[in-house]
Amino acid sequence: MGDFVRLEISDGIGTIRLERPPMNALNTQVQEELRAAATAATTDSDVRAVIVYGGEKVFAAGADIKEMADMSYVDMAARAVELSAALGALARIPKPVVAAITGYALGGGCELALACDWRVAAEDAKLGQPEIKLGIIPGAGGTQRLARLVGPARAKDLIMSGRMVDAQEALRIGLVDRVVPADQVYAEAVAMVRPYLAGPAQALRAAKLAVDGGLEMDLNSGLAWESQLFAALFATDDRREGMAAFVAKRKPEFTGR
């Protein structure tokens, strides 16, 4: 798809693969290619679930600091919105998305992982938001998604100290969901999404929208949003199939419609 990011589709899984050696630094081109890959994964009906993967050695070690070093406030005021939007496109993929983390997921790389639904990490992986050591803060969702995932106190600890956490601490605080040997990370990510490949795509989409959208609302608004999504599913073929299969005591055959 691009010079540094491509979408590979196999057996219903779309793998968004980063390939910008040596550290998969997220320069402007990578950011825009990530946005394009996320859009393609969203619209391609052959993609039922997504894995974001940086390869066997490193997930993504952050933004391209050399590119950013000479940018002015005016430059970054415009670019920061696009950076956030690039990872926002990934977060809005209406399908299950797993980050397969090897090596480092730091700065923008950690923010990339945070934009996914789940994270599986290698036993030797390191994660963190070290931007404070450069005199800045995370600017692509780190302050917002991290706090929602691990709570504000832990998020402030990681962001304000800039320290890295190993895989076991990341698992303990909820930053990652599974830890496996490094050579099993991608296979584990496949195992995580496989149950969803034959599932009811519209219901899975609605579930993700309900949770993610509800986090932005007060409780009453979230409940109203849930009710709308719930009722809308009664217009789908998969709802009819799922209920008919339940009544007939057979396994449903969902089509994604």
**Is residue 110 within 8 Å of 129, Cβ to Cβ?**
yes
Residues 6 or more apart in contact with residue 9 via CB below 8 angstroms: 15, 44, 46, 47
Q: Which residue has the tokens 């009906």?
A: 45
Torsion of CA 180, 181, 183, 188, to 10 degrees: -10
Residue 33 appears among annotated catalytic residues: no
Rounded to 5 degrees, φ, ψ at 226 are -60, -45
Out of 36, 41, 60, 63, the active site residue is 63
Out of 14, 103, 107, 108, the active site residue is 108
Whether cis (ω within 30° of 0) applies to the bond prior to 181 is no
Residue 109 appears among annotated catalytic residues: no
Residue 131 appears among annotated catalytic residues: yes
Residue 123 appears among annotated catalytic residues: no
- For residue 166, give the amino acid letter: D
Out of 131, 199, 210, 242, the active site residue is 131
- Residues 83, 34: Cα–Cα separation, whole Å: 10
Out of 62, 103, 111, 201, the active site residue is 111
Which of the residues are catalytic? 63, 108, 111, 131
